[in-house]
Amino acid sequence: MAHLKLAPLLFLFLLNLRTARGAEPWDAPFAADASAILKRANQIPTADEDASVQILLEDHRISLEANGRARSTIRKVYRILKEDAVEDWASIEQAYQPWREQKPVIRARVITKAGSLHTLDPKTIADAPEQQFDASTFSDTRTVRAPLPAVEPGAVVEFEVATDSGPAFAEAGIIERLVVIDSVPIERFHVTIDAANGIPLQTVYRQIPDSAVRKTSSKGTTHIECELRPLKVRKEFELGLPPDTSTYPYFAFSTASSWKGLAARYAEIVDRQIQSAEVRALVASLPPGATPLELAGRLATELHRNIRYTGVEFGESAVIPARSDVATTNPIPTPPFWGSRIVERIDLQSVLPYINEKMLFGVQWGYTPAGRKKDEYEAFIKNEVRPILHKLAKRCADEKILQPQAVYGRVFNPLHTGLQGL
């Protein structure tokens, strides 16, 4: 009987404990009592003495509507611990594609270590074309970006980004991966997803315990919640992971009905776009009885002559192939010499700025964005990955492991006919 009497008390204790743990002053967005937020933030110890920033809350709220659109809000609250974190954590940005996404709405504020409150001025939010990493790609993707005011060691930053996006085409649905960047201390990571009736919501998570994910349904609608707290800082990262293996924990969701249906529909779109390709005349011009190597030579020559390799990703062309009317009849200048020349002595440090970090870090080393927000990924590259490259380069130079050389010149004429042109 004593155990039965204690059961209600135990239940109330656990309920109060859960409520107490969740009742932080920053749980309510942009709460009025800034002094309470600063006081509580200073009371939370940092498990990692090397940490430069401490994330108090990362909260994702996603609403999947019956019309296929997704309304999403991400809110972060973090405390700057050291001076070296100011540069990387003193701005906020969000990319968007105007043809299927509304312009993101940003609001932010900074509470300084002295307790003064500084709110982001909307007039300082820039909206500009996104920088392209590939010079041959042209896109209408844009980025909204803003400087956070009064960021300093000891300050608490709170920002929110609200987005409204639709699928590239109906069958594609919405796909998103929310990555837990646990290379910095995180006190609470929280996700809620509400899907309207009839939405084929599918979820998957990795390196997250089942106990952290809860799913409920009511009157046809689905509610999913994922909560992690606090997270131990990850100190070591495995290199060379396969592209489908994430370095970090993540929670992902999709509203596409199936990969098979998506692939079939996309194949229909692509096939329709290339049906008008003018290749019959090219095939008819090939000499009868030509060997496969000779045929490849002729085809390659025609491609070099008539095709300009350019990514024009405006509007739906970002996912649906489109032909360009760019002229291919412009005269080709004659190079100053034919053949090759060699530069033998090149300082290794002078080569580093020309390394394609996107290819090296993302493809060869496996550090892909994998659903990370752009600012999070760039901070991770700067703090964790790029120092590895500099360390390796210094070792190669000190031990004379590498001696860079360069070969340059024009070794063939791409418009030459026949095998000599390859």
Per-residue pLDDT tens digits for 241-287: 787 788 889 999 999 988 888 888 888 888 887 776 666 677 777 77
State whether CATH 3.50.50.60 applies to domain 24-261: no
With a CB cutoff of 8 Å and minimum separation 6, the contacts of 33 are 25
What's the rounded Cα separation, in Å, for the pair 235 and 118? 34
Per-residue pLDDT tens digits for 215-232: 999 888 999 999 999 998
The dihedral formed by the CA atoms of 39, 159, 249 and 368, expressed in degrees to the nearest 10: -140
- Given a cut of 80, whether residue 417 has pLDDT beyond it is no
| pTM of model > 0.75 | no
| 186, 55 Cβ separation under 8 angstroms | yes
Per-residue pLDDT tens digits for 139-182: 889 999 999 999 999 999 999 999 999 998 888 899 999 999 99
What's the rounded Cα separation, in Å, for the pair 95 and 398? 41
Residue 191 CA, chain-centre distance (Å), reads: 18
pLDDT for residue 5: 46
Residue 11 confidence class, pLDDT cut points 50, 70, 90: very low
Residue 65 CA, chain-centre distance (Å), reads: 23
Domains of the chain, by residue range, sit at: 24-261, 276-337+412-421, 345-404
| 168, 218 Cβ separation under 8 angstroms | no
Q: Beta-carbon neighbour count of residue 157 at 10 Å?
A: 24
- Residue 148: which of 209, 80, 211, 229 has the closest Cα? 80
pLDDT for residue 412: 53
